[in-house]
C-alpha cells in the first residue's frame, strides 16, 4: 500500500506563487476585476508541481525500462482540469485558502475554465477516466489523440430547436498543455507504390507519397491521485510541412500558398460530432491515419531512445490498446514501418503486431461498425492497402481455410474485405485478426460480442474475446463533484475510499441508521437546491428541490430511448389533467443531451421534449406536480452539477443496445436509484445493489430477439393500450405547438409506421409500472434513504481503477512504479 504523498506546497507558498504569476506572467495588478487572470496564475502555479513530477515519472520509467501501455483514442472527453488536479495533488484546501485571501471563491475561479471536450460521449469519457486511473495506479502510460482546434460543438436552443455553435476551447490558450517541438513527426500520404526487384529475386516496395503533413505534439499532463505519477496525454496537431511556400507567395500565388497549408491544417480542425455512427468521410479517414502514424512513430522513437536498433525488446516494452476501431490503421502503419523501413520479414512483422495490439469494442450497433472503401484506401494509403491485402490473404488461407476447408461462404463472411458493388474494408475484422485480445465493456455486451457479433472469430481464436467491465474515476465523479457527500463518507470510512472504492461498502451498515439517513439525504437536498438554481439560470424554469429529480443525461440516440421517458411524461400529464388529485410525488424530469447535427429524429426528440416542457411547466392545472427541463449544452462540467443532485437515474436503452453505459455508474455512486433495463452495466449494477435497490423493467435481450422472430407489430400495442394510443395521437394535434399541428408527428411516425425499431411500445407498460413502484418507494422516506445509501455503498466494483487492474492483469501485463516484483 503506497503511503500518502506529502503536500507539495503550503498555503503561503501557493499564494506567493500565484501573485508572482499574476505580476510577472500576466502583468495583472487589478486583481478584483480579473478572475480569468487568477485562474491562469493558479494553473501555472499547479503546473510547477506537475511538471516536476512529470520529469520524475519519466526518469523513473527510463531507468527501470518499464513496459508502457499506449492508449490510442480518437476522443478524450477530459472536462475541466483544475479542480481535479488540485484534488489529486492534495492541494485543494491550500488553493482554496490562497485564493480566498485574494478575495475569490475557488468555485468562481473554476467557472472561468473551459471544458476540454475532445470527444462525443461514453467512449471519450471512458478514455479520460482510464488516464486518471493509470496515473493514480502508477502505471507507465501514454494517451495518444488529436489536438482538435474545435471540440464537440456547443448546444443552444432556439425556440426549442438545437443550434450548434463552434467550441472555441483554446481561443485564449490552454494553461494545461505544452508544445513539444522536439517530438514533431512528418507524415506521408497519397502517391503511389513502386516495386523494385532485388538481386535475390524478391521485391522491395517503395511508397512515393504525394504530400507530407507535419504532426506537432501537445502534451497535457495527467496527474495521479495521491500517487507519484504524472503521465501525459499527447495530442497531435496537423500543420503544413513546409510551413508556408514563400516562393509562391512572392510570385503572387497567395491563394495557392495558402491552400496547401489550409488542407494540412484542416486535418485536426474539428472533431466529428457523430456518436456511434460511421461518418465515412475522407477527412475522418485521414484524421485516423494522421494520428495513428504520428503515434506509432512516437512510440518507436521513445523505444529507440532506450534500445537503439535492437528490436528484440519491442513487444516486451510496448502494448497498444485500440479504443474501438477508429485507430485500426496503427496496425497497418506498424507493419509498413517494420517491413519497409526496418527490413522485417512479413511473418516476423505480423507476429510482432499480434503481440502488441489489443482492441476494445464499444458498440454492437451496425451503423457504428466502421468500413472504409477500398478505393479510398488505395488513393490515400496505397502501401497500407497492399499490406492489408497480404494480411487478409494470410488470414483466409492459413487460418480460415484450415478450420473451414473449402467453405466459401465462411471466407466471404470473415474476410477483411467485404465484396459488393463497392469493395469495403471491415476495420473490426482487421482488429480481431491482428489483436491478441478483444474486449467488450460489460459482461452482457462481451457475451453478445462472442455470440452474435463475432461467433466465428470466437471459434477460430478461443480465449481471444474477453470482458473488461467499464468503470469511472471516483476522484472526479464523487470526491471533486460532491464535496459534502465525500466529507460524510470520510467520516465513516477509515481508508482512502477514493483510491479503494470497495471500502465504501462499510457505509451499508449505516443504511438503516436514522441519523446517517438524515445526513445523507440532507446533502442530497442541498445539492438539489444548487441544481435548482442552475436550472433557473439556464432555462428560466422554477423547480422545487422537494420534488423527485429524475435524470436522463447522455447523448441523444433512439436506442437510448429518451423518447420512452418522453412518452411516459405525456402519460403522466394526461393522468394529471384527467384527475388533478392523481396520486404522485412531484417530479422534475431533467434531460441533458446533444444530438449529432445530422441526426434528424434525435433533433425532433429534443424539440418535442422542449415543446412539451413549455406547456407542462406553465400549466397551473397540475399544481407543479410535473416539471420538465432540458438543460442546454450537456457536457462534463454540467454532469458534475447534475449527478450529485439526482434522485433517479434513467438507464432505459433497448436491451442489447447499450454496450455498458458509464453515467449509470456515476449516478448510482452519488446515491441515485436506477430505473433501467437489463442492458449493459445495469445488469452488474443490479447484481451489486440487489433487486430491492433498483427498478428493473422491460424486455430482456432474449425477449427482444423473440419479439422480432414473432413479427413485431407496434400497432398491436397502439391498438390495445389506450394510454399509448392517446399519447401518440396527441402528438399529431397542435396542443403543444399552437397553430402548428403535426409538428411533433415524426416521433409517432417512427414508432408506428417506422416499425418502432427500438421497441419502445413493447416496454412502455412495464416502464410505467416500474415508475409507479418508484413513486411509491420515494414517498417512504426511510425506504428511499436506505436505497440511496446502498447504491453509493455498493459501487466499489465500478471504479475505473478496477477496470484498469483487469486490463493490466488480463491484457497489458504491466508492473506499476515502485512495485516490489
Which stretches of the chain bind ligand 475, using CB under 6 A?
120-123, 126, 274-276, 324, 362-363, 368, 441, 470, 658-662, 680
Minimum CB distance to ligand 475 smaller for 75 or for 743: 75
Cα 180 to the center of its chain, rounded Å: 26
Least Å from the CB of residue 444 to ligand 475: 11
Least Å from the CB of residue 287 to ligand 475: 12
Contact partners, residue 584, CB within 8 Å, separation at least 6: 572, 575, 576, 625, 775
Minimum CB distance to ligand 475 smaller for 155 or for 527: 155
Q: Is residue 662 annotated as part of the catalytic site, yes or no?
A: yes
Least Å from the CB of residue 409 to ligand 475: 29
Q: Is residue 214 annotated as part of the catalytic site, yes or no?
A: no
3-state SS of 211-258 is EEEEEEEEEEEEECCCCCCEEEEEEEEEEECCCCCHHHHHCCCHHHHH
**526 C-beta neighbours (distance < 10 Å), count:** 15
CB 232 within 8 A of CB 219: yes
Minimum CB distance to ligand 475 smaller for 264 or for 681: 681
State the cell numbers at 73.
Answer: 483514442
Handedness of CA 398, 400, 402, 408 (dihedral sign): negative
User: For residues 260 and 268, what is the distance between their CA atoms, to the nearest angstrom?
Assistant: 14
CB 467 within 8 A of CB 451: no
Catalytic residue among 80, 383, 524, 560: 560
Least Å from the CB of residue 470 to ligand 475: 5
In what helix (H) or strand (E) does residue 100 lie, and over which residues does it extend? Answer: helix 92-101
User: For residues 431 and 438, what is the distance between their CA atoms, to the nearest angstrom?
Assistant: 8
Q: Is residue 192 annotated as part of the catalytic site, yes or no?
A: no
User: For residues 695 and 15, what is the distance between their CA atoms, to the nearest angstrom?
Assistant: 49
Minimum CB distance to ligand 475 smaller for 321 or for 363: 363
Least Å from the CB of residue 365 to ligand 475: 8
Phi first, then psi: give them for residue 259, nearest 5 degrees.
-70, -35
State the cell numbers at 645.
Answer: 443532485
Q: Name which of 126, 91, 118, 117 is nearest 477 in CA terms.
A: 126
> Looking at residue 808, what DSSP letter applies?
I
Minimum CB distance to ligand 475 smaller for 219 or for 640: 640
Q: Is residue 362 annotated as part of the catalytic site, yes or no?
A: yes
Contact partners, residue 675, CB within 8 Å, separation at least 6: 648, 649, 650, 651, 652, 694, 695, 697, 767, 770, 771, 774
**733 C-beta neighbours (distance < 10 Å), count:** 13
CA-to-CA separations, 810 to 4, 226, 437, 439, 466, in angstroms, rounded? 28, 25, 9, 10, 9
What residue is closest to ligand 475 based on CB?
Answer: 122
156 strand-pairing partners: 163
Minimum CB distance to ligand 475 smaller for 126 or for 400: 126
Catalytic residue among 555, 561, 627, 802: 555
> Looking at residue 411, what DSSP letter applies?
H
Contact partners, residue 49, CB within 8 Å, separation at least 6: 8, 9, 89, 91
Least Å from the CB of residue 120 to ligand 475: 5
Contact partners, residue 422, CB within 8 Å, separation at least 6: 373, 374, 375
CA geometry: angle 98, 490, 500, nearest 5 deg: 105
CA-to-CA separations, 490 to 437, 483, 647, 685, 798, in angstroms, rounded? 39, 10, 22, 23, 19
Minimum CB distance to ligand 475 smaller for 123 or for 296: 123
Catalytic residue among 21, 154, 284, 362: 362
Residue 163's SS3 state is strand
Burial 471-480 (b: 16+ CB within 10 A, else e): bbbbbbbbbb
User: For residues 204 and 252, what is the distance between their CA atoms, to the nearest angstrom?
Assistant: 42
Least Å from the CB of residue 126 to ligand 475: 4
Least Å from the CB of residue 561 to ligand 475: 13
Least Å from the CB of residue 273 to ligand 475: 9
Minimum CB distance to ligand 475 smaller for 275 or for 558: 275
Catalytic residue among 67, 154, 297, 554: 554
Minimum CB distance to ligand 475 smaller for 5 or for 279: 279
Q: Is residue 557 annotated as part of the catalytic site, yes or no?
A: no
Residue 787's SS3 state is helix
State the cell numbers at 798.
Answer: 465500478
Least Å from the CB of residue 680 to ligand 475: 5
User: Which residue do the cell numbers 468555485 mark?
Assistant: 107
Catalytic residue among 154, 666, 759, 794: 666
Least Å from the CB of residue 660 to ligand 475: 4
Q: Name which of 525, 523, 530 is nearest 492 in CA terms.
A: 523
Minimum CB distance to ligand 475 smaller for 387 or for 668: 668
Minimum CB distance to ligand 475 smaller for 120 or for 610: 120
Minimum CB distance to ligand 475 smaller for 223 or for 428: 428
Least Å from the CB of residue 597 to ligand 475: 14
- Known catalytic residues? 362, 554-555, 560, 662, 666
Amino acid at each position: 500500500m503506497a503511503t500518502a504523498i506529502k503536500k507539495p506546497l503550503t498555503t503561503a507558498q501557493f499564494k506567493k506563487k500565484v501573485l508572482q504569476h499574476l505580476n510577472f506572467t500576466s502583468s495583472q495588478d487589478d486583481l478584483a476585476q480579473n478572475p480569468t487572470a487568477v485562474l491562469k496564475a493558479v494553473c501555472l502555479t499547479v503546473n510547477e508541481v506537475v511538471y516536476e513530477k512529470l520529469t520524475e515519472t519519466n526518469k523513473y520509467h527510463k531507468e527501470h525500462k518499464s513496459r508502457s501501455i499506449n492508449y490510442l483514442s480518437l476522443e478524450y472527453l477530459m472536462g475541466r482540469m483544475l479542480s481535479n488536479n488540485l484534488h489529486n495533488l492534495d492541494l485543494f484546501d491550500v488553493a482554496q485558502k490562497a485564493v480566498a485571501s485574494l478575495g475569490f471563491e475557488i468555485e468562481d475561479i473554476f467557472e472561468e475554465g473551459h471544458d476540454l471536450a475532445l470527444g462525443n460521449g461514453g467512449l471519450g469519457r471512458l478514455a479520460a477516466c482510464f488516464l486518471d486511473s493509470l496515473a493514480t495506479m502508477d502505471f507507465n502510460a501514454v494517451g495518444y489523440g488529436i489536438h482538435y482546434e474545435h471540440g464537440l460543438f456547443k448546444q443552444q436552443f432556439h425556440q426549442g430547436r438545437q443550434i450548434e455553435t463552434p467550441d472555441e476551447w483554446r481561443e485564449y490558450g490552454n494553461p494545461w498543455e505544452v508544445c513539444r517541438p522536439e517530438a514533431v513527426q512528418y507524415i506521408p500520404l497519397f502517391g503511389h507504390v513502386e516495386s523494385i526487384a532485388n538481386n535475390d529475386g524478391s521485391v522491395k516496395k517503395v511508397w512515393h507519397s504525394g504530400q507530407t503533413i507535419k504532426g506537432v505534439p501537445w502534451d497535457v499532463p495527467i496527474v495521479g491521485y495521491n500517487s507519484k505519477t504524472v503521465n501525459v496525454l499527447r495530442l497531435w496537431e496537423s500543420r503544413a510541412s513546409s510551413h508556408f511556400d514563400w516562393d509562391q507567395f512572392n510570385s503572387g500565388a497567395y491563394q495557392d500558398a495558402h491552400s496547401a497549408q489550409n488542407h494540412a491544417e484542416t486535418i485536426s480542425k474539428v472533431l466529428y460530432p457523430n456518436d456511434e455512427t460511421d461518418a465515412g468521410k475522407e477527412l475522418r479517414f485521414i484524421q485516423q491515419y494522421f494520428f495513428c502514424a504520428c503515434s506509432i512513430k512516437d512510440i518507436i522513437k521513445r523505444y529507440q531512445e532506450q534500445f537503439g536498433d535492437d528490436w528484440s525488446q519491442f513487444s516486451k516494452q510496448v502494448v497498444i490498446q485500440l479504443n474501438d476501431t477508429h485507430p485500426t490503421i496503427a496496425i497497418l502503419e506498424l507493419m509498413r514501418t517494420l517491413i519497409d523501413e526496418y527490413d522485417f520479414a512479413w511473418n516476423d512483422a505480423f507476429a510482432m503486431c499480434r503481440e502488441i495490439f489489443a482492441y476494445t469494442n464499444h458498440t454492437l450497433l451496425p451503423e457504428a461498425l466502421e468500413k472504409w472503401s477500398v478505393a479510398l484506401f488505395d488513393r490515400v494509403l496505397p502501401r497500407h492497402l497492399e499490406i492489408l491485402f497480404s494480411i487478409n490473404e494470410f488470414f483466409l488461407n492459413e487460418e480460415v481455410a484450415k478450420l473451414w476447408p473449402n467453405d466459401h461462404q465462411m471466407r466471404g463472411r470473415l474476410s477483411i474485405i467485404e465484396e459488393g458493388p463497392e469493395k469495403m474494408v471491415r476495420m473490426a475484422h482487421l482488429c480481431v485478426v491482428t489483436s491478441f485480445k478483444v474486449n467488450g465493456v460489460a459482461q452482457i455486451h462481451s457475451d453478445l460480442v462472442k455470440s452474435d457479433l463475432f461467433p466465428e472469430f470466437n471459434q477460430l481464436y478461443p480465449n481471444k474475446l474477453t470482458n473488461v467491465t467499464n468503470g469511472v474515476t471516483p476522484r472526479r465523479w464523487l470526491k471533486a463533484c460532491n464535496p459534502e457527500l465525500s466529507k460524510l463518507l470520510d467520516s465513516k470510512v477509515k481508508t482512502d475510499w477514493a483510491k479503494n472504492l470497495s471500502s465504501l461498502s462499510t457505509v451499508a451498515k449505516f443504511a438503516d441508521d436514522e441519523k446517517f439517513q438524515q445526513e445523507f439525504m440532507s446533502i442530497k437536498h442541498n445539492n438539489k437546491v444548487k441544481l435548482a438554481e442552475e436550472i433557473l439560470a439556464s432555462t428560466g424554469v422554477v423547480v422545487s428541490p422537494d420534488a423527485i429529480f429524475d435524470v436522463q443525461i447522455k447523448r441523444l440516440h433512439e436506442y437510448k430511448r429518451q423518447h420512452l421517458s418522453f412518452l411516459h411524461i405525456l402519460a403522466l400529464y394526461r393522468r394529471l389533467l384527467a384527475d388533478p388529485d392523481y396520486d404522485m410525488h412531484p417530479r422534475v424530469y431533467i434531460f441533458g443531451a446533444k444530438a449529432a447535427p445530422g441526426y434528424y429524429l434525435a433533433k425532433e426528440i429534443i424539440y418535442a421534449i422542449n415543446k412539451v416542457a413549455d406547456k407542462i411547466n406553465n400549466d397551473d392545472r397540475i399544481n407543479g406536480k410535473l416539471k420538465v427541463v432540458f438543460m442546454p449544452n450537456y457536457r462534463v462540467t454540467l454532469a458534475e452539477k447534475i449527478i450529485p443532485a439526482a434522485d433517479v437515474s434513467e438507464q432505459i436503452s433497448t436491451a442489447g443496445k447499450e454496450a455498458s453505459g458509464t453515467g449509470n455508474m456515476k449516478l448510482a455512486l452519488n446515491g441515485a436509484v436506477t430505473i433501467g433495463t437489463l442492458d449493459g452495466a445495469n445488469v452488474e449494477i443490479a447484481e451489486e445493489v440487489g433487486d430491492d435497490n433498483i427498478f428493473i423493467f422491460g424486455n430482456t435481450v432474449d425477449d427482444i430477439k423473440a419479439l422480432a422472430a414473432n413479427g413485431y407489430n407496434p400497432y398491436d400495442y397502439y391498438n390495445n393500450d389506450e394510454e399509448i394510443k392517446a399519447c401518440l395521437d396527441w402528438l399529431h394535434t397542435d396542443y403543444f405547438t399552437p397553430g402548428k399541428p403535426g409538428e411533433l408527428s415524426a416521433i409517432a411516425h417512427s414508432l408506428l409506421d417506422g416499425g418502432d425499431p427500438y421497441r419502445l411500445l413493447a416496454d412502455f407498460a412495464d416502464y410505467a409500472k416500474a415508475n409507479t413502484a418508484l413513486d411509491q418507494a420515494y414517498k417512504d422516506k426511510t425506504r428511499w434513504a436506505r436505497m440511496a445509501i446502498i447504491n453509493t455503498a455498493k459501487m466499489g466494483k465500478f471504479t475505473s481503477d478496477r477496470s484498469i487492474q483487469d486490463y493490466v492483469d488480463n491484457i497489458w501485463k504491466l508492473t506499476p512504479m515502485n512495485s516490489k516484483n
